[in-house]
Structures are given as structure tokens and as C-alpha cells.
Structure 1
Amino acid sequence: MESFFGMLKSEYFHRERFASVAELKAGLDGYIHYYNHDRIKMKLNGLSPVAYRTQAEIG
């Protein structure tokens, strides 16, 4: 979890300005979706976490 929050702060939170709490929440939802579905990891054979888990379920 510490690694996730570190990445969240460096890749998203410190780079943006938020006009409201609702805008922050919407942005966090988008970042979490990106983190799980679009972000590739070399440790996961170049797949996103969701793609890697789906591959493991099928194969």
C-alpha cells in the first residue's frame, strides 16, 4: 500500500490542482482505473494488473 500511495502522490496528486473535493474524488477514481487497467508493469510481463490476473485465470 505504501508503494501505491507513493506513486499516487508523485504521478497524480502533486501534479494537479483541484477546485473542489468532488473534482479530487473524480480524479482519484480515474487514476485508480488507470493504475489497475492501463499501467503496464515489467514484473507482470508487460501487462496491466487486471490483464495479468485475467491471463492467470484463463491459462
Structure 2
Amino acid sequence: VQSMSRKGNCWDNAPMESFFGILKTESFYQEGALSVAELTKVIDDYIHYYNHERISLNLKKLSPVGYRTQLEKAV
């Protein structure tokens, strides 16, 4: 079943695939075997870390939230 109304391109899923690859590498691969509740907590904690604390060189060494805040102040 097609999930999009237009032809899918190879780069459509690239940002999410990149995020999930980073999530797996930096977070729960290091944790070992987890229950569903523990995995949910690890993922929630990592998403908060990714958005609020983890710096990105592509975002001028700011977190995504910090970069967005800086852009809002500039306008």
C-alpha cells in the first residue's frame, strides 16, 4: 500500500533513517536487553537530549531547540 500521494524518492526518509540510526547507536545498543517500559523511557530521554542538549555542527554548534530559539530572536 502506497503511503504517499506522490512518487516516493530515496531522500524522503533519509532524515528519519539518520535519526533512528543515531538513536540506536548512542542510546539503547549500549543498554543491552530492555523491557518495553525501559526502552520507552530510554527513547523518551534520548529524544529530549537530542532536541535540547546535543549540539550539531550543522546548526552552528547549537542544539535544535537552541538554534530555533536563536532564529526566532533574530526575526
Letter in 2 for 1:40: I
Return structure 1 stretches of 4+ with deviation > 2 angstroms.
Answer: none
Higher helix share: 1
Q: Does structure 1 residue 43 correspond to structure 2 residue 35?
A: no
How far 1:42 sits from its partner (Å)?
1.0
Stretches of structure 1 that go unaligned for 5 or more consecutive residues are: none
TM-score, with structure 2 as normaliser: 0.73
Q: Report % sequence identity.
A: 62
User: Which structure ranks higher in relative contact order (CA pairs < 8 Å, sequence separation ≥ 6)?
Assistant: 1
Structure 2 gap segments, 5+ residues each = 1-15
When normalised by structure 1's length, the TM-score is 0.91
Higher Rg = 2
Q: CA deviation at 1:23?
A: 0.9
The residue type paired with residue 51 of structure 1 is G
Aligned pairs, number: 58
**Aligned-residue CA RMSD (Å):** 0.8
Q: Does the alignment pair 1:6 with 2:21?
A: yes
